[in-house]
């Protein structure tokens, strides 16, 4: 079984969310984060882009659901998955 690189887009519930606090909560989830950055989306809304590495064992639902449990998170979207 190999590994996959997954690009995720994490959007906050509102424009008032403290993005640094949200990033810290994501870091505390104990997932293999290779890159994390904040990007402007539109009209003052920012998004967090994540690059994570996971075992190739059945998808990203578990990780997405763990991130969604963070209070400030509005939506999590998988943008790309690549076999390593």
How distant, in Å, are the alpha carbons of 21, 42, 56, 72 from that of 69? 14, 24, 23, 9
Rounded CA-CA distance 15/29 in Å is 23
Per-residue pLDDT of 26-75, as tens digits, reads: 999 989 999 999 999 888 889 999 999 999 888 889 999 999 999 999 99
CA distance 36 to 28: 13
pLDDT, greater one: 30 or 6? 6
- Helix, coil or strand: residue 24: helix
- Strand, coil or helix: 75: strand
Domains of the chain and CATH, by start = 3-83 (3.30.70.60)
Q: What is the pLDDT of residue 1?
A: 73
* Separation of alpha carbons 57 and 37, rounded Å: 26
């Amino acid at each position: 079984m190999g590994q996959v690189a997954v690009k995720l887009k994490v959007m906050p519930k509102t424009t008032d969310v403290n993005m640094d606090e949200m990033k810290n909560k994501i870091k505390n989830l104990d997932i293999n984060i290779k890159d994390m950055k904040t990007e402007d989306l539109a009209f003052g809304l920012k998004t967090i882009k994540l690059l994570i590495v996971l075992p190739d064992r059945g998808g990203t639902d578990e990780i997405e659901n763990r991130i969604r449990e963070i209070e400030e998170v509005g939506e999590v979207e998988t943008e790309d998955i690549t076999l390593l």
